[in-house]
Structure 1
Amino acid sequence: MRPATTEVLVVVDQVAPGAALTHLPEGELLADVVGERATHEAGVLRGRLAADSMTSAVDQLVAALRDSTSAPLALVDGALVAGPTLLGDVVAEPDGLGRILRDDRGQVLALRVAAGAREDLAQALERAASGWPPRRLLDAVADVAVDLGGAGRELTPGSFLATLAQTPDEAVGADERVGAVDEAALRLRRASRSDDGFLSTFLVRPLSRPLTRRAVGAGLAPAQVTAVALLLGLLSALAYAGGSRVWLVVGSVLLLTSLVVDCVDGELARYTRTTSARGAWLDVAADRIKEYAVYGALAAGVVGAGHEQWLLALASLGLLVTRHFVDFGFAARQVGGSAATTAAEGAVGSWSARTDARPAVRYAKRAVIAPVGERTILLAVLAPTVGVRWTFVVLLALGVVAAGWTTAGRLGRALASRVRPSESARAQLAVQVDGRPLPLHGWRVGGPLGWLIPAGSRALEQFGALLLVDWLAPAALPGLFGWLAVVAIAEYDVTYRGRLTGATAATGPLTVLGWPLRLAAVLVVAALAPDVAGWVFGIGAVLLGGSVLASSRAYWSRWVPSTP
């Protein structure tokens, strides 16, 4: 659900007033223009905070913080000359979390305090203010928020213009430059993800951004775009199932089109600030369904060598699921750890930070981890050119390299980190397994390696079932693929409920039968009924899929009724 509208205070800092009280050519005070721009997209203007001393300013701010605790509070420097988009990055983002916007010199231009952190910040300001020397109020408040650990995300202007005007002439000149900027174009570029791989950044995004601009103009919702991308992906799978080279080419064209459209929904959500937990889950679920459907369709389309192709498809599925749960486990550990925990990552973390500063090395590292865009492009190019068998072989080899690279790096970080999570963070250290929150406290699940348990569980089920069925009922591999794919989707669903909404309750159909029992059931079916095992697995996949769909729809509609 969307948080309450952000309250905005424009700070006219009497210690360093700049040009906040300057009249622009239109006759308006710069401070008033700042308030209008800060609330252009969202937010309600609470007024102006002005005082002739630090003590008086802090007293006013503490009173404002305690005036309400149901909405975030944003503070914006009254001398800041910037466009509405940059100010909206602080004020209008719908997550309601903290934000700090700094310029290149580290000066705070604006900040937002989450609703739940207002009282804590007020108390901390009362304790700290007595010893403050004269300084900019926003810098001082940001330092306190950072010390509390609730400052939230740090932002920079990036390509947007932002100036703390010090004189009337500087304010007027900066405002003219801001007015001349194509803000829509900059905003659209900023809506692209900053952590994409090389191919996604330089091949896919230049194609998706014009479509996003059109989608914005047409008033489309991100969920509608996600549905189109999913449909195109399923059509590509249907074409791949044709098996011939012509159908493989058609499938690849559809798959690449789906990839481009799939970038649009995220760009559209970020551009229009309509991001939501439910929208994020829809995007992830659509990606996994498309990818699994394509793997299965490629294996099904091969004539005369189906058994080998199904083995490769199942191995590709199992490796991908295992890799993702390595990611989920490590992410949960990072989120739950204290600042000291995540900083104490030794030489691995330092090396990673240094190499990321070089674009060529940064993109090479991203290519090694084989993100979804790179995997999709590689599959679409290889399938019609080298055939299905070698496409799977290359994907598996790339997946093994990616798994080794990421797991080794995370192991190094985890082993170098010796600080345990704080008491308040322990509840967040969990990944859903079979619908149950698995605690990742190091001292409860095997020290610093406990975060690997979810991935180990997934690997045992995926690869254990593959080996059992290939041994006892190899003809049932197609049905097993459907079963394991649906199980994986169900695991993703309950895990993302925790990642995106903080849910820890055991929900979903997987709570009825845990993975050891499911693996035992696969063994029994394959051993006792090998001739019909494929049908049993297929029917089970359909029934489980329907149950997962109903459970997921009920959860996301009832508990997260936001518009994706």
Structure 2
Amino acid sequence: MSRAVILPAGGGAVETAGEVTVVDRLISQIREAGCEDVTVLARPGEDLTLKAAQITSPDPDTDLEHVRRIAYSGAGPVFIAHADLVASQTTVAAVLSDSSRRSGVLVGDDDATAPPVAVERGLVTGPGPGPLRLGGLAKVSAAHLGRLKRHWPEKARGDAFEAVLAALHARAVPVGAYRTAGLPHRQVRTADEAESTIAEFTAVDMDRWRMGNAVKHDDDLFATYAVSSWSPALVRLAARLRLSPTAITWVSIALAVAAAAIFAAGPSTVQIYGSASVATGYLAAAALMYFSFVFDCVDGQLARYTQNFSSFGGWLDMMADRAKEFTIYGGLAAGAALDGTSTAAAWGLAIAAMCAQTVRHTADTWYAVLLDTAVVRQARQRESAPPIGRAAHLGQRLGSASDQVMGAHRSALYWAKRTIVAPVGERWLLLAVAAVAFGPRTALAALLVWQLLALAYTGAGRTLRTLAARTAALRRPDRAAHRDDGLLGRLMPRNRNRFSNLPAVATAFAVAVTAAAVWRAAEDGLTWVSLGLCCIAVLTGLASAHSDHDGMFDWLIPAGLRATELGIITCAGIVAGVSWPVLFALLGVVALYFYDLAAGLDKAASPVSSRGAGLGWPARSLIAVAASAAAVATTPVAATVVFGALAAYVAATFIGAIVAGTVRASAA
């Protein structure tokens, strides 16, 4: 359960309309936002009648000690506020309704007397020139409280609030910036200041403000013009019907599944218009895809509009995006097989597209971690050292150019940069239009080509920018979870091989060997050579499990290991002649299993707390290889059964971990 601590401030005793003090008003707002455990620290001699627990605290150093004791008195995050903060309920809820594992602080540009801060990539990096300033309300997540437990500051050095933020920065903890631009908030000293601030945000049309902040202003091209141009009407309707964002997500899932089922059934009634042949079934599927994407946008817009946030909802939204997309791939593959394409070609394209998307998204996620890590560690000598070499300087210039392009909002270059990386809306548009116009096989082939081009484009630019960032993104305590080596990884000897201290090199070698194995299996049919290469890839990928992962390019390791496992399973399935739908299902389950890790980083929320039952990628890979080898000596049916059982097992353990985590979070 969350706790809130309100620090002493002279303006807290100021009375507003209705003879309500500023601090009383703040207490009510915090409780309305869902935090019932509120403690107010007061200076000796202050006579405040409050509906909250009070503790007398003589100075900021003692404030800091009280905050520490309260923070570690239970589970969940702790919120820290100044007693003189005057803000709207929406502003207070923006901080307290964040159910993710992130920490953050309220910032704004309305309070000229508050300390200025530097904000980069949405993160508060420390004191700065402004114009943004501290807003007097912060959240420290339970995860980050754990990192501060042995490093809690001993002296406030003026203010307990800023001392806690400084401690987070010293531990390289990302501190997000909560903003409610257009809704003023200030730390007041007089009644006139309080009344003036209240009058300012009361005059704001809140319905218009909430809708303006609900619809993203920096979305992709298709979402901006084909969805967000009219989705506010759906958002208001859903709000009037009291639908939750999670309910909208389920509607989106149902529409995508229906579209995939229509694609899987193959072309139905065909009508001829002049020389054009249009499969009306595919037209219906394309329409369902469009509305599925619309509702996928609406669920997030509704959450922001109603401020109805939940960690499960954010997690489900991200997981559903990929599950829907993979289901569409499977439907297109089944339809292509009925439409004259060979089964191997149809399902092979779907598998290649799914694997490429999974590897891409994993790389995207960890690249964002790299940039955030570079921001929060910029004060440390190693990360802030000037880049060395022409490539690093080119990376800096590339980064500056990219920022300039993105700053030219909705320009031609802006849209080109956003579209070239194949965002989700544009991917769905391509699949729908190409399937209707040219058939499902062409749709999958076109998508795969675009994904590979996007991967090459982003890979080249990010390589140069990594040299400029000079940051070790994977040097973190949860590295083992993101590697997912499992029991075999723990059994590997330390520093006993040439790859043990070169994790990026070992992973790259494993990917190359896996690619060779898949190529051998698909083109030459060399059974034992392919399976032998798969075993070498597993051992190579495992070789650096215990290394420090402190290299600049180690952020690519999670994506490389995902490529290795997916490739090995694909190779083993091809060799054994596993049923293509079963192979696709196993790869899809494994891919979604790892998207949960991406959700933990992107959304800072995942109900899964343990992955021990998932066996680890090496064990899953070797099970697939062993089943393939056995099937070669017996019958392909044996491998199909094992692959299906492995898919069911991974899905069951994953769903079980989700249910257990959700129940545990509800009971907390």
TM-score (norm 1): 0.80
Shift of 1:358: 2.6
Give distance in 2, aligned partners of 1:523 and 1:336.
43
Find out whether 1:415 has 2:467 as its counterpart.
yes
Correspondence for 2:320: 286
* Cα 1:154–1:284 shift into 2, 3 Å: closer
Are 2:155 and 1:127 aligned? yes
Structure 1 pair 51–157 and aligned structure 2 pair: CA distance change class (3 A)? farther
Q: Equivalent residues in 2 for 1:457-536 (5 A)?
A: 457-463=561-567, 477-493=580-596, 500=605, 503=609, 505-508=611-614, 513-519=619-625, 521-522=627-628, 525=631, 533=636
Name the SS of the counterpart of 2:105 in structure 1.
strand
Query: Whole-Å Cα distance in 1 between the matches of residues 659 and 576 of structure 2?
Result: 42
Corresponding residue of 1:393: 445
Query: Counterpart of 2:181 in structure 1: which amino acid?
Result: G
Residue deviations 1:322-347 (CA, integer Å, cap 9, x gap): 21232355456667787147767851
Q: Following TM superposition, by how much is the alpha carbon of 1:402 offset from its aligned partner in structure 2, in angstroms? A: 1.7
5+ residue gaps, structure 2 = 46-56, 110-130, 268-278, 491-501, 505-546
| Corresponding residue of 2:250 | 227
Is contact 2:5–2:40 with CA below 8 Å preserved after alignment? yes
Alignment partner of 1:448 is 2:559? no
Q: Is the contact made by 1:240 and 1:298 (CA closer than 8 Å) also made in structure 2?
A: yes
Counterpart code for 1:377: L
Aligned to 2:286: 252
**2:356 alignment partner in structure 1:** 319
**Residue 365 (structure 1) aligned with residue 401 (structure 2):** no
Per-residue deviation at 1:56?
5.1
Equivalences for 1:65-144 in 2 at 5 Å?
A: 65-69=67-71, 70=73, 72-95=77-100, 97-104=102-109, 105-114=131-140, 117=145, 126-127=154-155, 129=157, 142-143=165-166
Deviations 1:470-496 (A, max 9, x none): 7885x9545533343334334445776
Paired residue secondary structure (1:412): helix
Q: d(CA) in 2 for partners of 1:374 and 1:50? A: 58
- CA distance in 2 between partners of 1:311 and 1:253 (Å): 26
Give the Cα separation in 2 of the matches to 1:217 and 1:339. Answer: 45
Other structure's SS at 1:39 match? helix
- In the TM superposition, what is the alpha-carbon distance from 1:252 to its structure 2 partner? 1.0
The answer to whether the 8 Å contact 2:585/2:647 transfers is no
Within the candidate set 252, 255, 262, 1:239 is matched to 262
Deviations 1:149-198 (A, max 9, x none): 44721223323333455654443333223223233443354345676423
Whole-angstrom CA distance in 1 between matches of 2:353 and 2:174:
41
Question: Per the alignment, do residues 157 and 497 of structure 1 end up closer, same or farther by CA in structure 2, a change over 3 Å counting?
Answer: closer
Cα 1:505–1:292 shift into 2, 3 Å: closer
Deviation at residue 21 of structure 1 after TM alignment:
4.9
d(CA) in 2 for partners of 1:495 and 1:74?
26
Q: What displacement does 1:469 show?
A: 6.6
What CA distance in whole angstroms lies between the structure 2 residues aligned with 1:111 and 1:438?
Answer: 43
In 1, distance between residues paired with 2:24 and 2:649?
55
1:339 paired with 2:341, answer no
| SS in structure 2 of the partner of residue 127 of structure 1 | coil
What is the rounded CA distance, in whole Å, between the counterparts of 1:515 and 1:342 in structure 2? 36
Give the match for residue 329 of structure 2: 295
- The percentage of counterpart residues that share the same residue type is 26
Contact residue 237 and residue 251 of structure 1 kept, 8 A: yes
How far apart are the structure 2 equivalents of 1:469 and 1:140?
A: 56
Alignment of 1:156 onto 2:179:
yes
CA contact (8 A) 1:75 1:112 kept: yes
**Displacement, 1:456?**
3.0
Q: Aligned partners of 2:347 and 2:483: how far apart in 1? A: 28
Q: Which runs of 5+ in 1 are unaligned?
A: none
Counterpart residue identity of residue 91, structure 1:
L
- The Cα shift of 1:88 comes to 1.5
Cα RMSD, aligned residues only: 4.2
Instruction: State the alpha-carbon separation in 2 of the partners of residues 479 and 372 from structure 1.
Output: 25
Q: 1:35 corresponds to which letter in structure 2?
A: I
Q: Are the aligned partners of 1:142 and 1:151 in contact in 2 as well (CA < 8 Å)?
A: no
The C-alpha deviation readout for 1:225-245, integer Å capped at 9, x for no partner, is: 333222211111011123321
Matched, 1:553 2:655: yes
Residue 99 of structure 1: CA displacement?
2.0
Letter in 2 for 1:82: A
SS at match of 2:99: coil
- The 2-side partners of 1:376 and 1:463 are apart by 25
Q: Secondary structure at the match of 1:366?
A: helix
CA distance in 2, matches of 1:356, 1:295: 31
Using the size of structure 2 for normalisation, the TM-score is 0.69
